[in-house]
Amino acid sequence: MKQILVTGAVGQIGSELVLALRNRYGASNVIASDIRVPENGELKTSGPFETLDVLDPNSITRIMQLYDIGTVYHLAAVLSAIGESRPSVAWQINMNGLYNFLEAARQYHLALFFPSSIGAFGKSTPQDGTPQDTIQRPDTIYGVTKVAGELLCDYYHKRFKVDTRGVRFPGLISHVAEPGGGTTDYAVSIFYDAIKHKKFTCYLKSDTYLDMMYMPDALRAMIELMEADPAKLIHRNSFNVSAMHFTPEQLSAEIKKHVRGFEIDYDIDPVRQAIADSWPNYMDDSCARKEWGWKPEYDMPRMVKDMMEKLTAKLQ
Ligand code: AKB
């Protein structure tokens, strides 16, 4: 089989996706790459790892010459909150990095997965049951790069027949790697603080709804979409995928069932609050369900139970 390249492999999604892909397709067929050196030893010891700067076309060419790549999961990106503090870096990495890989995909006939986000929506988008095809006027540089990225991926598909596919991820929750610089990160940090200190200070208001997903579902979504029959895909970039939605108050109430005496208080970060207020409460993912059979397995109580078990074991 042709090999698979994952960019941004050291990040929250990449560090788990690489291992899931190696399990499914064989370790030597999955090349992990990042500009950072992995702390997670398994990422390096379980298969090939390459240092790769997505902004450097020469290092992309080097990888293409070294391996027989057929598919790229292009995950290297700057998230929403950090993007607001460094907009020009966010634009460069999110747009120029994607452009370099779309060009590589055109030249080397690669399939390309692009992760979009709930960040591709803004205040003028319907927030409850956000439709697949709707207004996309985000207020963040992250969102601007996600909308432009979706359009660019569709353009490369229509104009050059590049097999581009993507999903709009909600906030992702995982016990393996922590996210860095996102707006939805509280839904991961809360578990660490609950286990370590029985107390968590949340930077979003107690009643802020956000769409969320547990990492095992997110990994499955990416792999299933890339394996889907292209003839059935009406949409490509990018599919709404949804699994659960809740407020910080509702999440803390569920955690309290597992951590006796757990307490939450609030110290609002106006930047991240404004971003969260502009994002959907939950998306309508019926197109993903119809076109490639998407179905989440984890709701909020099941995710909380699994997070508590896995993180408690990890932090012991
Ligand atoms: C973020 O909060 O920036 C990300 C996202 C929803 O895209 N987790």
DSSP H/E element including 313: helix 300-315
pLDDT for res 289: 98
pLDDT for res 39: 79
pLDDT for res 38: 84
Strands 30-34 and 128-130: unpaired
**Structural domain spans, the chain:** 3-170+214-240, 171-212+243-282+298-315
Per-residue pLDDT tens over the stretch 36-95: 988 768 888 999 999 999 999 999 999 999 999 999 999 999 999 999 999 999 999 999
Give residue ranges with CB within 6 A of ligand 1.
79-80, 117-119, 142, 169, 171, 179, 182-184
pLDDT for res 37: 86
CATH superfamily placement of domain 3-170+214-240: NAD(P)-binding Rossmann-like Domain (3.40.50.720)
Site to probe by mutation for ligand 1, drawn from 130, 183, 212 as the one with most ligand atoms within 8 Å of Cβ, is 183
Here the tokens at position 119 are 């960040």
Domain spanning 171-212+243-282+298-315: CATH 3.90.25: yes
| Ranges of residues in the chain whose predicted pLDDT is under 70 | 40
Alpha carbon distances (Å) from 38 to 3, 18, 34, 113, 240: 20, 12, 8, 22, 30
User: Is the entire prediction scored with pTM above 0.85?
Assistant: yes
Site to probe by mutation for ligand 1, drawn from 146, 184, 188 as the one with most ligand atoms within 8 Å of Cβ, is 184
> Is 142 considered catalytic here?
yes
Give 205 Cα–ligand 1 centroid separation in angstroms: 17
How far apart CA 228 and CA 81 sit, in angstroms, is 32
